């Protein structure tokens, strides 16, 4: 056969990989011979298949083992290769499976012998891994907010920038005619959607549902890419009578029926409108800033008609999608003339206040915020998390991981002396530095791996608890994304490198002769260890100080006098089903003769955050005696002051005895009086616009906090109306009947408002709910600092134990020479106390700096007290002492005869 075909070359290469080189020639020879035979007998194609199969069959332990041994021999003795190649079977292997088995055996023996240290390491690492998983998942959730929309980088929210003389202000509310004008004048805006939030009652076949309603434009479906489950995205909101439902809403209303084309009734009784279901959209994920149950066209909004040409009524956010390639800044610049043209009254108002243009030359401007940033922009989003929290959380996560790593390093270094002899023996038997490093590092990796496994298990088990405790909404599913998995692996390898690499490198460096003689000394003993302990305690003290300040601030906000009495008041959200005013009247009639009910009133604005979770605000701006006035415009009912126990400073409260009270009489707060510049405002008149009602001030009350304490007390004007709807009912009860009256109200509620939800809550609970954000921050902080301290102490405990073990003999000698027990305890403890003191000295200024920054965002804040640092320092020292003294006292009490005889 001269012109014979050849088998696939890649198969030969594979074989070269699989088999020991000294066997390769004969094996390939045999294979080729068989192949040549096969070509003749069964044809070339079949022969090739058989050939590949044969080669694959060489993947056997017999060959692989020998191949691996060869490779390691080459790495270990590259120079001696010629010698080994002459003998057909190599005499010994360094990374031979047997050797690996030996490493593993030794590893398990050492780990088992020092169960305590192994346990400390595993516990520390697994707790750290678990906590880090939680914290990083929280961060991940925050960072991926709104990231699921297609073309997200082209989606923006508009906001108004006003450069007030005191400080610039940014607000998201836009006037109704803004969006249509914008779309006609700027063709580069691909789509723009207004989003007016409301709630609505939906009726289908006699059943009623209360759902979150969003009035919007047809462009909503273009701007955002929530998946459309049924219906056509292009036409779903084309008609005014179209309605799009979220998946859950559709399920709740229609069950298994196909909702498309069905008719729903929206609105309160007697005022219902018909809508045709044209689309079903997937629910907004929980990391979406925009949520909805029901979407209809904004033209259906009850206020649309009057506000559609009003450029000074700001009611809703607007989202834009720009055409590809449109630059944000250049569009913002072109918006300047647009702003000059339409927002004249705002600009005039600002000028009157003496506002100056900012560095971009804007006195007043419409600007764009990227959708990705909206969640972190608390000015614009209203809710959302400050980005600082995300940094804080990731920082804490890294800190905790660092503390666990430090424990690991310290323990490994301290333990390395006990294994010095093994290293010496191995070295004298020919082990290489690289090999020793791999062995010891492998052992650390083993511990890390166990810690990692236990940590993952812990995380898996504790997720529900964590979510419930910190209201975190995290989900371990996120961990299964490829990017995240790579991240976790990278983190794991980094941890093993940091925590295991350094000690292994140190050990591999031991001098064989000295080690075997029993002398091991590292230059400047313990310097590294001490600085690591200082780092740990610095972190712990820092976290603790921050926690204490955060808790103090939250408590301060909670207990601060609000200007009204929040105790014993029940707040009932009315909902959309019934008219609030009628319900209030019915409730008054029912409870008129009840001795446990002290007062009943209503309002348009809830105090604190009730169970309905909504926050509303209505403000009014007008000119009074050449002055620009802006005030909260609060709708109240009779007995509002009595119910909240607000004392009148002058004048009188609204009373049914004066019929005109419900038309043009108002009660104002002190700061409102100051703003209009009247010393004695009662009896004065003002007009909100030149042609409108002339309001007379009939009462003056002290300032009180209508909204969160994060803001200053704003001027408030209260008015009474027979037509505007009341959204909340307040009931003051006697202190003795706190619990029973809640039940009683519930009973009465079901009589006067059948079918409506009763979601009342006490006002003091509502106020607490306002600080939920702060509270959850302070809780995460306390949790993290607790873990940090715990881990630090765990490490200190182990290090102290080891140091004292090494000094057993010294203690024996000291005792024999007459040292007292307290003296010895002091001697052993003072080193550690010194470290904690240094840590404290580093941590305090840092904590002071960070907390000063955080507290600056509050109008009402605590002052940072030096005593906190003293307290934290004292307790840190005490904890450290307690940890160390457990061992030091034991060592000091030991009989010197025992310790001195030990050799």
Partner 1 sequence: MGRAYLGEFEELVLLTVAVLEGDAYGVAIASELKQRTNRTISLSGVHIALYRLEEKGFVQSELGGATTTRGGRRKRLFTMTTAGKQTLGEMREVRNQLWESIPNPSLT
Binding site for partner 1 (CB under 8 A): 1, 23, 25-34, 36-37, 54, 57-58, 60, 62-63
Structure token digits, residue 513? 């002769």
> Closer to partner 1 at the Cβ: 41 or 205?
41
Q: Find, among 318, 320, 374, the residue nearest to 145 by Cα.
A: 374
Spatial distance between the Cα atoms of 780 and 554, rounded to a whole number of angstroms? 13
Do the Cβ atoms of 55 and 14 come closer than 8 Å?
A: yes
Supply the minimum distance, in Å, between the C-beta of residue 91 and partner 1: 14
How far apart are CB 41 and partner 1 at their closest, in Å?
Answer: 11
> Nearest CA to 731 among 763, 755, 707?
763
Q: Would you say how long the chain is, in residues?
A: 903
Residue number with CB closer to partner 1 (23 or 649): 23
User: Please, what is the minimum distance in Å from the beta carbon of residue 84 to partner 1?
Assistant: 17
To partner 1, the closest distance from the beta carbon of 71 in angstroms equals 19
Q: How far is the CB of 54 from partner 1 (least distance, A)?
A: 5
For residues 10 and 460, which CB has a smaller minimum distance to partner 1 in the complex? Answer: 10
How far CA 389 is from CA of 393, 409, 476, 650, 686, in Å, comes to 6, 30, 21, 45, 45
Q: Which two tokens stand for residue 544?
A: 């603790």
CB closer to partner 1 out of 50 and 814: 50
Structure tokens at 263: 């008719």
Residues forming beta bridges with residue 161, ordered by sequence position = 170, 365
Element (H, E) at 453: helix 433-470
* Residue 32 vs 336, nearer CB to partner 1: 32
**Cα distances (Å, whole numbers) of residue 263 to 180, 203, 214, 269, 278:** 29, 9, 18, 16, 10
* Residue 163: closest CA among 17, 4, 360: 360
Phi, psi (rounded to 5 degrees) for 210: -105, 120
DSSP alpha helix (H) spans, 471-575:
482-495, 502-508, 512-517, 527-559
Q: Which residue in the block uniquely carries the two structure tokens 């200007």?
A: 563
Residue whose tokens read 């333990």: 415
CB of 486 to partner 1, least distance (A): 37
Q: How near is the Cβ of 55 to partner 1 at its closest, in Å?
A: 8
Minimum distance from residue 420 beta carbon to partner 1 (Å):
40
Q: How far is the CB of 30 from partner 1 (least distance, A)?
A: 4
Is the Cβ of residue 34 or residue 171 nearer to partner 1 in the bound state? Answer: 34
H-helix or E-strand spanning residue 279? strand 273-281
Minimal distance, residue 80 CB to partner 1, in Å = 23
**Residue 609: φ, ψ to 5°:** -115, 115
Give just the sign of the alpha carbon dihedral 830, 832, 835, 841.
Answer: negative
Q: Smallest distance, Å, CB 33 to partner 1?
A: 5
Q: Which is nearer to partner 1, 15 or 634 (CB)?
A: 15
What sign for the dihedral angle of Cα 254, 256, 260, 262? negative
Alpha carbon distance 274, 202 (integer Å): 10
Closest separation between CB of residue 93 and partner 1, Å? 16
How near is the Cβ of 35 to partner 1 at its closest, in Å?
9
Between 77 and 96, whose beta carbon lies closer to partner 1?
96
- What 3-state class would DSSP assign to 620? strand
Q: Evaluate whether 766 touches 610 at the Cβ level (below 8 Å).
A: yes
Residue 432 contacts residue 527 (beta carbons within 8 Å): no
Long-range CB pairs of 861-864, under 8 A, 24+ apart, other chains included: 861/553, 861/556, 862/549, 862/552, 862/553, 862/556, 864/549
Q: Which is nearer to partner 1, 14 or 620 (CB)?
A: 14
User: Toward partner 1, which CB reaches closer, 47 or 192?
Assistant: 47
155-163 and 364-370 beta bridge pairing? antiparallel
C-beta of residue 84 within 8 angstroms of C-beta of residue 371:
no
Nearer to partner 1, 91 or 735 (CB): 91
Smallest separation, CB 8 to partner 1 (Å)? 14
25: CB partners within 8 A, 6+ apart? none
Which residue, 20 or 231, is less far from partner 1 as judged by CB?
Answer: 20
Nearest approach, Cβ of residue 57 and partner 1 (Å):
4
How far apart are the C-alpha atoms of 116 and 799, rounded to whole Å? 12
Q: Which is nearer to partner 1, 23 or 841 (CB)?
A: 23
Q: How far apart are the first and last CA of the chain?
A: 81
Q: How far is the CB of 9 from partner 1 (least distance, A)?
A: 12
Q: In angstroms, rounded to a whole number, what is the distance separating the alpha carbons of residues 349 and 353?
A: 7
Q: If you search the block for the tokens 């604005």, which residue do you land on?
A: 605
729 φ, ψ to 5°?
-115, 130
Nearer to partner 1, 38 or 637 (CB): 38
Helix, strand or coil, per DSSP, at residue 470: helix
- 25 or 626, CB closer to partner 1? 25
Task: Provide the 3-class DSSP secondary structure of residue 870.
Answer: helix
CA distance 885 to 473: 42
Q: Which of 196, 199, 215, 197 is nearest to 268 (CA)?
A: 199
The residue (of 27 and 598) whose beta carbon lies closer to partner 1 is 27
DSSP 361: S
The residue behind tokens 């750290």 is 128
Residue with Cβ nearer partner 1 (57 or 205): 57
Shortest CB 2 distance to partner 1, Å: 10
Q: In this complex, which beta carbon is closest to partner 1, that of residue 63 or of residue 848?
A: 63
Retrieve residue 631's tokens. Answer: 């005030």
Tell the smallest beta-carbon distance from residue 63 to partner 1 (Å).
Answer: 8
């Amino acid at each position: 056969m001269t012109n014979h075909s050849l088998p696939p070359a890649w198969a030969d290469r594979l074989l070269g990989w699989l088999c020991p080189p000294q066997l390769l020639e004969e094996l390939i020879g045999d294979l080729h011979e068989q192949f040549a035979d096969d070509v003749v007998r069964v044809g070339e194609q079949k022969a090739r298949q058989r050939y590949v199969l044969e080669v694959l069959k060489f993947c056997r332990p017999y060959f692989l083992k020998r191949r691996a041994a060869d490779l390691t021999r080459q790495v270990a003795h590259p120079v001696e290769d010629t010698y080994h190649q002459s003998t057909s079977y190599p005499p010994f292997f360094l990374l031979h499976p047997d050797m690996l088995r030996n490493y593993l055996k030794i590893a398990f023996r050492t780990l088992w012998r020092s169960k305590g240290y192994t346990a400390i390491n595993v516990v520390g690492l697994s707790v750290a891994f678990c906590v880090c998983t939680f914290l990083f998942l929280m961060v991940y959730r925050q960072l991926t907010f709104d990231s699921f929309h297609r073309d997200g980088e082209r989606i923006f929210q508009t906001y108004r920038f006003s450069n007030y003389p005191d400080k610039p202000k940014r607000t998201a509310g836009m006037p109704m005619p803004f969006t249509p004008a914008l779309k006609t004048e700027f063709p580069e805006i691909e789509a723009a959607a207004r989003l007016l939030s409301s709630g609505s009652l939906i009726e289908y076949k006699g059943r009623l549902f209360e759902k979150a309603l969003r009035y919007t434009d047809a462009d909503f479906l273009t701007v955002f890419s929530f998946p459309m489950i049924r219906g056509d995205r292009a036409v779903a909101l084309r008609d005014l009578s179209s309605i799009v439902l979220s998946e859950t809403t559709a399920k709740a209303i229609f069950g298994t029926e196909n909702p498309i084309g069905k008719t729903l009734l929206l609105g309160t009784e007697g005022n219902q409108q018909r809508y045709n279901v044209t689309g079903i959209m997937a629910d907004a994920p929980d990391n979406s800033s925009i949520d909805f149950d029901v979407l209809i066209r904004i033209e259906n909004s009850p206020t649309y008609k009057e506000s559609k040409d009003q450029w000074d009524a700001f009611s809703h956010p607007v989202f834009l999608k720009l055409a590809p390639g449109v630059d944000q800044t250049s569009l913002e610049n072109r918006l300047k003339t647009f702003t000059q043209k339409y927002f004249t009254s705002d600009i005039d108002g600002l000028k009157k206040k003496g506002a100056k243009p900012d560095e971009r030359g804007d006195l007043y401007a419409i600007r764009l915020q990227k959708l990705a940033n909206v969640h972190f922009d608390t000015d614009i989003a209203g809710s959302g998390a400050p980005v600082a929290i995300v940094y804080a959380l990731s920082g804490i996560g890294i800190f905790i991981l660092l503390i666990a790593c430090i424990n690991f390093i310290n323990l490994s270094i301290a333990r390395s002396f006990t294994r010095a002899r093994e290293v010496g023996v191995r070295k004298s038997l020919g082990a290489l530095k690289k090999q020793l490093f791999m062995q010891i590092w492998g052992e650390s990796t083993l511990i890390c791996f166990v810690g990692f496994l236990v940590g993952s298990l812990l995380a898996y088990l504790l997720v529900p608890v964590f979510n419930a405790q910190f209201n975190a909404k995290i989900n371990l599913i996120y961990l299964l994304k490829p990017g995240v998995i790579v991240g976790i692996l990278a983190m794991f390898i980094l941890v093993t490198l940091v925590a295991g690499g350094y000690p292994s490198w140190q050990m591999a460096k031991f001098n064989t002769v000295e080690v075997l003689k029993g002398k091991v000394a590292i230059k400047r003993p313990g310097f590294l260890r001490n600085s690591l302990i200082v780092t740990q305690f610095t972190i712990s003290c820092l976290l603790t100080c921050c926690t204490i300040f955060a808790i103090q601030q939250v408590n301060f906000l909670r207990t601060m006098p609000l200007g009204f009495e929040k105790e014993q008041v029940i707040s009932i959200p009315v909902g959309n089903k019934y008219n609030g005013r009628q319900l209030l009247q019915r409730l008054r009639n029912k409870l008129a003769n009840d001795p446990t009910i002290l007062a009943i009133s209503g309002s348009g604005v809830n105090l604190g955050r009730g169970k309905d979770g909504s926050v509303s605000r209505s403000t009014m701006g007008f000119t009074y005696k050449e002055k620009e006035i802006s005030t909260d415009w609060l709708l109240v009912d009779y007995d509002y002051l009595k119910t909240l126990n607000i004392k009148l400073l002058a004048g009188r409260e609204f009373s049914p005895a004066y019929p005109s009270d419900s038309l043009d009489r108002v009660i104002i707060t002190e700061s409102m009086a100051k703003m209009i510049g009247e010393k004695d405002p009662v009896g004065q008149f003002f007009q909100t616009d030149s042609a409108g009602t002339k309001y007379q001030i009939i009462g003056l009350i002290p300032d009180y906090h209508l909204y969160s304490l994060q803001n200053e007390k704003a001027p408030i004007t209260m008015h009474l109306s027979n037509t505007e709807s009341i959204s909340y009912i307040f009931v003051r009860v006697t202190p003795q009947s706190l619990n029973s009256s809640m039940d009683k109200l519930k009973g009465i509620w079901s009589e006067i408002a059948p079918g409506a939800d009763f979601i009342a809550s006490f006002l003091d609970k509502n106020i607490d709910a306002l600080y939920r954000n702060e509270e959850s921050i302070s809780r995460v902080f306390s949790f993290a600092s607790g873990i940090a301290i715990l881990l630090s102490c765990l490490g200190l405990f182990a290090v102290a134990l080891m140091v004292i073990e090494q000094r057993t003999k010294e203690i024996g000698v000291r005792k024999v020479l007459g040292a007292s027990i307290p003296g010895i305890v002091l001697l052993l403890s003072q080193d550690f106390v010194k470290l904690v003191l240094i840590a404290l000295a580093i941590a305090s200024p840092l904590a002071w700096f960070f907390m000063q920054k955080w507290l600056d965002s509050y109008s009402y804040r605590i002052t940072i007290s030096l005593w906190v640092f003293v307290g934290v320092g004292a307790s840190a020292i005490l904890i450290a002492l307690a940890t160390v003294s457990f061992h030091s006292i034991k060592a000091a009490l030991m009989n010197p005869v025992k310790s001195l005889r030990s050799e």
